[in-house]
Amino acid sequence: MMHDILDLERYPLDQPDSAAYADLVKRCQADLKADGMFNLEAFMHPAPIARTLDYVLPKFDTEAFRHERKHNIYFKKSIPDVAADSPLYTEFSTSNLTLCSNQVSDTPVRQIYDWQPFVSFLSAVMRRAALYPMADPLAGLNVIAYRDGQGLNWHFDRSQFTTTLLLQALIKGSTFLYRTDLRSADDPNHAGVEKLVRGEDPDVQALDAAAGTLNVFRGVNTPHCVTPAIGERPRVVSVLTYFETPGAMFTDEERLGFYGHTS
């Protein structure tokens, strides 16, 4: 079944004891160390991508939550040890359309999210003892669309790493921008972050991936954004969130902020 969804010849996630699997894990770990992310191109086959899009695109017109917010790069109203007039409080605009986990349960991306060999592969690459899908009915797996003018602005993630699977790319706009390891657990590097928010960081990189690409990055220390989409064709991406403990749930406040409702 998963052979019909994922390219397991190129990426043998179903053969964890093989040399090819070990080589893939090592390659991904090396990319993470060097760039703060790794990408697996053509990870998902075109046919299941098309099935997923056929299912979700109509829902963006009728069921999706329009997520609009102003925020600074930290998503925080107060930043410890930072003056109120600091450029670190510079506000950006983010806008997208979000479908929750329980709205995309009948899709191939849901099968990927729940497939244990995929979760085990991420655990191995990230050097975690284990990872678990979320128990939250809304979070865990989201499918997000960026229509004309919509984008995800500069921010740090709260989670140690972020996993995305691109379902539909654009010819213009909606470019993924990132700055590898701008801060660390020991050094917030406020001066460096100020340079980024002023648009003066020469080390910002761009990634224009093709549909079917799996992207995993350390978003907690690597700030990133998605530039505004251009044109009628939306950028569509699935976001897969895992935790090191089973049964993870968002709070009602978090669900309300991300999805506009709590259940």
- The structural domains of the chain, with segments of one domain joined by +, span 2-259
The predicted pLDDT at position 43 comes to 98
Residue type, position 257, single letter = G
The predicted pLDDT at position 249 comes to 92
Q: What is the b/e burial string over 38-73, where b = at least 16 CB atoms within 10 angstroms of the residue's CB?
A: bbbeebbbeebbebbbebbeeebeeebbebeeebbb
Question: Span 144-149, mean pLDDT?
Answer: 96
Say yes or no to pLDDT of 75 above 90. no
Contacts of 253 (CB under 8 A, 6+ apart): none
pLDDT band (50, 70, 90) for residue 116: very high
Chosen CATH of 2-259 out of 2.60.120.620, 3.90.550.10, 3.40.50.10490, 3.40.50.740? 2.60.120.620
Residue type, position 45, single letter = H
Backbone φ, ψ for residue 152 (5° rounding): -110, 120
Question: How many Cβ atoms sit within 10 Å of the Cβ of residue 110?
Answer: 19
Instruction: Tell me the per-residue pLDDT of 151-180, one tens digit each, with 9 for 90 and over.
Output: 999 999 877 789 999 999 988 888 999 999
Question: Span 10-33, mean pLDDT?
Answer: 97
Percentages (nearest 5) of helix, strand, coil residues in the chain? 30, 25, 45
The predicted pLDDT at position 140 comes to 92
- pTM of the entire structure? 0.92
Say yes or no to pLDDT of 262 above 90. no
Question: Span 43-56, mean pLDDT?
Answer: 98
The predicted pLDDT at position 86 comes to 94
Say yes or no to pLDDT of 263 above 90. no
The predicted pLDDT at position 219 comes to 87
Question: Span 192-203, mean pLDDT?
Answer: 96
Least confident of 128-132, 202-206, 259-263: 259-263
The predicted pLDDT at position 146 comes to 96
